[in-house]
């Protein structure tokens, strides 16, 4: 058998934190890559880190061992504050790469990585555009509904590109949506 690290990352608290979830779980016949006999026990782990690489290619390393990881309890999580990632005001939209690595007391390294796409700032802008759509029947006509529908359609395409892992298309569509948001007057979602 061999340890097979499993984890997930999601954006929480209004795009102000990332949440790391340890999903490896304990060894069983249904989870052959889990912690403990016949695989390595968590007590033998001397280092646990999470490498974070954002859309700007800047890398940050989080010491998960200091936060009590690894854990045999599937779903154990840690909310990573933005102060651990250079203090931005929100999580930047785009493609992120995460690598979870543990090292045991025999210097054996176990590692796995995942790509994630985050879009919460773009979603906020489009929500603001919807809030500004003129719904009054007797009011003068404006382009707010047309611009919202264009942005919403582009957002659906953005999420499809993310789901397919198509970073080039994601980046191209994101630029179009950013322009629509800027033209709508959306400066921030905070």
Per-residue burial over 46-83, b = 16 or more CB atoms within 10 Å of its CB, e = otherwise = eebbbebbbbeeeeeebebeebebbbbeeebbbebebe
153 and 174 assigned to the same domain:
yes
92 and 128 assigned to the same domain:
no
For 38-86, give the DSSP string: TS--GGGEEEEEEEEE-TT--EEEEESGGGT---SSTTEEEEEEGGGGT
Domain residues for the domain of 106 are 7-118
Q: One digit per residue, pLDDT tens: the chain, 190 residues?
A: 699 999 999 999 888 889 999 999 999 999 999 999 999 999 999 999 999 999 999 999 999 999 999 999 999 999 998 888 887 888 899 999 999 999 999 999 999 999 999 998 888 888 888 877 766 666 666 677 888 888 889 999 999 999 898 989 999 999 999 888 887 766 555 4
Residue 189 lies in a domain: no
80 and 132 assigned to the same domain:
no
State the CATH number of the domain containing residue 112.
Answer: 2.60.40
33 and 109 assigned to the same domain:
yes
Residue 133 lies in a domain: yes
73 and 146 assigned to the same domain:
no
**Of the candidates 96, 118, 140, which is a domain's last residue?**
118
**Of the candidates 118, 149, 176, which is a domain's last residue?**
118
Closest CA to 178 of 96, 102, 93: 93
84 and 164 assigned to the same domain:
no
**Of the candidates 72, 93, 118, which is a domain's last residue?**
118
The number of beta carbons lying within 10 Å of the beta carbon of residue 88 is 13
pTM (predicted TM-score): 0.85
Domain count, the chain: 2
112 and 141 assigned to the same domain:
no
């Amino acid at each position: 058998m061999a340890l097979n690290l499993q984890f997930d990352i999601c954006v929480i608290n209004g795009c102000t934190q990332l949440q790391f979830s340890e999903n490896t779980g304990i060894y069983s016949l249904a989870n052959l890559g889990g912690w403990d006999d016949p695989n390595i026990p968590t007590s033998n782990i001397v280092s646990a880190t999470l490498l974070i690489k954002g859309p700007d290619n800047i890398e940050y390393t989080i010491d998960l061992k200091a936060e009590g990881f690894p854990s045999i309890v599937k779903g154990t999580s840690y909310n990573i504050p933005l102060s651990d990632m250079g203090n931005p005001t929100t999580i930047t939209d785009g493609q992120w790469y995460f690598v979870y690595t543990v090292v045991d007391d025999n210097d054996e390294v176990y590692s796995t990585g995942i790509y994630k796409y985050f879009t919460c700032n773009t979603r906020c802008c489009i929500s603001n555009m919807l809030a500004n759509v003129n719904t009054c029947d007797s009011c003068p006509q404006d382009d707010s509904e047309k611009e919202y529908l264009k942005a919403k359609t582009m957002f659906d395409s953005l999420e499809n590109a993310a789901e397919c892992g198509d970073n080039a298309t994601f980046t191209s569509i994101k630029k179009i949506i950013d322009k629509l948001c800027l033209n709508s007057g959306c400066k921030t979602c905070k």
